[in-house]
Amino acid sequence: MNQLEMEHEMRCMSFNIKNGYDNEGVDGWPSRATMVAGMIRFHRPDVAGLQEVLYNQLEDLERLLPEYGFIGVGRDDGEKAGEFMNILYRKQRLELLGSGTFWLSEQPDKPGAMGWDAACARTVTWAKLKDKRDGAEFLHVNTHFDHMGVVAVEQSAHLLVERVTQLAGSSPVMITGDFNCTSDSVPYRILCQRGEQRIPLNDASAVADYHHFGLSFTFHDFDRKEMASQMFPEQYHHDHAPGLEFDSPIDFIFVNDLVKVQSFGILADHQGGKFPSDHLPILADVAWKLER
């Protein structure tokens, strides 16, 4: 690296916090809110993409995490209804330059639009941010693909790449999300394929210098017995419920070629066996070169 180049470092998190429709029991939102906020505050991401955030959860997190700015709208009406795909950014360090939302559908700019065979409306939140310390600008994109529609997930991957290519320009890019697909799936291959007219994307877990810390999956559905068997295999064994995959993540962080991934991990923090969500958050330390 020559004397006119500096390396800009950033910590990025993706976290499906589980929607707050269920307010009762140990896994209800009132029991999890401080754990979710505590997880974010302890690991100190500079930017984070959250999925499944309802408006009342957003209000709680804004109160519990005043050091962060929150970007995003409800997916059902473009305002407060339905789940938000919020982007959080550390206000002391970062300045918001611009932001927006589009819908994963044939009408991406129509609030509430449902696409293809999706079970519900799905959105993408994006933000252009600048580091106040060195002027570094970058694009952060956050999404949640559909959990039912096979066509919808594949078409969402195509649309996401198309829009990010338009938005990114020459900027470093980080994409966070619950993609409801695994690394051997068609949508994943669409996201990572190369082409002249599209932005090149890399799975942060696959290209990290420190390849992978933590467990091998991100969705556990509050199956505590399975989590115990995964974390302590010599002491516990559990036959998990059909349909749950404990060998591959469905949550990912993707970066473009400008971004170097220093480390990547899947975080299994818990409090006495209670988990903050039915997904495990993922974390990546990234860097890119700045010319001066």
Q: What's the pLDDT band for 245 if we cut at 50, 70, 90?
A: low
Q: What's the pLDDT band for 270 if we cut at 50, 70, 90?
A: confident
Spatial CA neighbour of 282 closest among 9, 17, 8, 7? 17
Can you list the alpha helix ranges (DSSP code H) found in 201-244?
A: 204-207, 224-231
Residue with tokens 């997916």, as numbered in its chain: 75
| Side-chain half-sphere exposure of 111, counting CA atoms within 13 A | 14
Classify residue 119: in a domain, yes or no: no
If one counts the domains in the chain, the total is: 1
3-state SS assignment for residue 253: strand
CATH of residue 233's domain is: 3.60.10.10
Classify residue 225: in a domain, yes or no: yes
Q: What is the pLDDT of residues 119-151, one digit of tens each?
A: 999 999 999 999 999 999 999 999 999 999 999
Classify residue 151: in a domain, yes or no: no
Residues paired with residue 210 on neighbouring β-strands, in sequence order: 263
Residue with tokens 């115990």, as numbered in its chain: 228
- Which structural domain, as residue segments, surrounds residue 61? 5-99+125-146+156-291
What's the mean per-residue pLDDT of the chain? 90
Classify residue 109: in a domain, yes or no: no
> In the sheet where 87-90 sits, what is the strand order?
68-71, 87-90, 47-51, 5-16, 282-291, 260-266, 210-214
Classify residue 108: in a domain, yes or no: no
Classify residue 116: in a domain, yes or no: no
Q: What's the pLDDT band for 269 if we cut at 50, 70, 90?
A: confident
Classify residue 110: in a domain, yes or no: no
The pLDDT value recorded for residue 237 is: 43
Classify residue 178: in a domain, yes or no: yes
The pLDDT value recorded for residue 235 is: 41
Contact indicator for 277, 270 with CB cutoff of 8 Å: no
Contact indicator for 101, 109 with CB cutoff of 8 Å: no
pLDDT at residue 227 tops 80: no
CA distance 182 to 252: 9
Entry pTM = 0.91
